[in-house]
Structure 1
Amino acid sequence: MKKFCLIFYWISLPLLIQAQTIHLVGSSDDICMNPAFSPDGKKLAYTKANYKGLLIFDLVSNSIKQITDEDAAGFAFKWSSDSKSILSRVSKYDYLKRYNAVKIFDVESGNSLPLTDYKTMMPYLPDWSNGDSEVYLPTKEGIEVYSTGKQKNTKIQKSELGGYVKNDKIIVHDFTTGNAQINIPIKNADIINLIISPDKNKVAFEIMGGNMYSMNADGTNLTNLGKGNRPRWSYDSKKIIYMIAEDDGHTFTESDIYSINPDGTEKVNLTNTKDLIEMNPCFSPDGKSIVYDVFDDGSIYLMNLE
């Protein structure tokens, strides 16, 4: 614990002196992106260009290791609540045909546990459920549930809700009762990047070509948060962090990182730069810092918010 605190002290010191940011990993020749803190705050998982592979940056030992080099492993991956495993939908290609499979990766050993066979049709992403003892995968026919072999974590949120999107519908599935609630917040809209708050009380999402929204998990209190992309919740469910990006139809031209309350108040531009394209932010578990990647130089940075 002392070593962990000491490293964060030395990380925090240059943050305060040098515009509150520190370079962690990556370069234009070695693109790193999409970082996410482990729930215990001791590690970062991230991926390489085009979401290829998964790597672990250990903030205690200041070491890096790769746990897989599989295609798409770094897209929308999810940490287990005990910080020991990562869930991902990986891909492989046979000529031009893409096959997907769901796997769990052990962070320490890099060993993988396949939960599904490789399939050509897997439009939805998996998520943890039942205290990490199960994984659910939405399909066009319904919900598939797989055993993970992990012991149920009884300390995490008692509510067992999972969410996914079908066109303009948000389906919130209650694994405790087996019931599913279908909400249509904005008729005929294409909803993307849905994410449920850690306390399971709210959701955030964006409309393709439109704004970002929050609402209660039961479909009430829809709030227009304005323009925004790729929302993520703080661990205490009190804040949303996201980016506002611009593009020219081919590539990103600018982006800054913002935080906002779910009710639309206290919107803050955290980066506010004109010469950098900051993207894919993630809160630390204690909410005192964030990590994000910079599109321009292929690097991952840490910013102290205090």
Structure 2
Amino acid sequence: MKHQQSSMYVDLQQYQLHLRRLIPLQQSLSPILFLHGAIENGRIFYSHSGKGLACFLADQGYIGYCADFAGRGLSQPQLVTGFDQNQHQVITRDIPALIDFVYQQHQQPLTIIAHSWGGVLLAASLSRFPELISKVRAKIYFGTKRVISVQSLERKIKIDWVWNRLAPWLGKQYGYVPARQWRLGADNESTAFLSDTIRWIKGEPFADITDGFDYARAGQQTLWPPIWHFAAVKDTLLGHPADVQHFIQETGQQQSKYTLLGRAQGHLQDYDHISMLTHPSASEDHFMQINKWLVNLGN
């Protein structure tokens, strides 16, 4: 491992957002902020033993900041204490605070890498606050979709029954969604946040659930920085390639780079929604391509 890891916190008074900072041992290139998706935390991007995309890029010289959204991971307080959070809070407060914090640390634009639903929230936040884009040099999305249009048995089980029915019921019983305990995901989830995601996943307009801000319209008017979208051949539901492409169109990101990860496309594995970030082959595959792309953008 060619980097060191430590924890730091962004204090937002009522709660503190945890960041896992990865500092290269030698050269230090531009900073990268990592944003996880629903029922996840920042560990999707790193491990203490040096595995994951954030660790790979840190070993190439990039300074990484893996965020835990409020109540998740090592952020305080935990959801189990009764702390709750909706999408509006993440979009209008947490993501802007994280971008500003990392920017202030280095006084240079940062790259933002998001997985799944984290990319939806990121696009919403930047389209709502276009003044933040001057602080962003590039964006990379993995399996990011807003609407799930796929109709299949997998969808009926995982989305219609588990996400739309079981998870809200659990939220009422526990005061939060105990996804870890029920093996629904890597981390627990806020009931308010869950409720917001359900409405968007079903296809309601890309507008703020709380105040009605039109993210779709704002996205079409946004001058986006360079963007790279990844989808995976075996991602048959949570980031289906067709839904990823629909999200690109909906948010006015048609100029973005798009890559489908699979053996038929010349990659080492047929990746899925999680393995595109966690498979051992990734570091010899698209992780290296990402590093080259970032180098070509300029350090």
Task: Tell me if TM exceeds 0.5.
Answer: no
TM-score (norm 1): 0.29
Normalized against structure 2, the TM-score is what? 0.30
Looking at CA atoms only, which structure, 1 or 2, has the larger radius of gyration?
1
Greater share of residues in strand: 1
